[in-house]
Amino acid sequence: MKTLKKRSEFLSVAKGGRIARRAFVLQSAKTRSDGDPRMGYTVTKKTGNSVERSRIKRRLRAAVASLDMDIAQIGADYVLVGRRAALSQPFEDLLKDLKGSLRNAFKPRKSRPIQPKPNSLANSKPPHDNVKEN
């Protein structure tokens, strides 16, 4: 699979949808009308030292390489933002999460009904001003 190299490509994908998993966040966007899907890998500096960040990226690259990329859509770009849990998560679970995320990347999300938050002031009685009512 081709990889994203330029910062502008990463920024255009960041404007698309996101799917969060334990070991990574998958960002996806349809940036082209045709062509093979492309993948970018990144790990923020908040995540460990350079050795750990490199190990996370290598594990994510290996997971993508072992997948059948017919799941990915034509003309789509993906960015995997690695998390520290990618180091400890079993590789089979990482593959399963990645496969499911790629399948659901462009499916419309179901909206959840908005539930009103309980308002403590609305349910309580109004304060008394020490005035007697007759």
Q: Which tens digits make up the pLDDT trace of 69-79?
A: 788 888 899 99
DSSP label of 48: S
Would you tell me how many other CB atoms lie within 10 Å of the CB of residue 101? 20
For residue 61, name the pLDDT band (cuts at 50, 70, 90).
very high
φ/ψ of residue 78, rounded to 5: -130, 145
For residue 91, name the pLDDT band (cuts at 50, 70, 90).
very high
Delineate the domains of the chain, giving CATH numbers in brackets. Answer: 2-104 (3.30.230.10)
pLDDT at 104: 86
pLDDT at 130: 66
SS3 at position 96: helix
- Distance between CA atoms of 89 and 112, rounded to whole angstroms? 30
Distance of CA 39 to the CA centre of its chain: 14
- Distance between CA atoms of 97 and 105, rounded to whole angstroms? 12
The yes-or-no verdict on residue 118 having pLDDT over 90 is no
pLDDT at 34: 84
Burial class (CB in 10 A: 0-12, 13-18, 19+), 123: exposed
The pTM score is 0.76
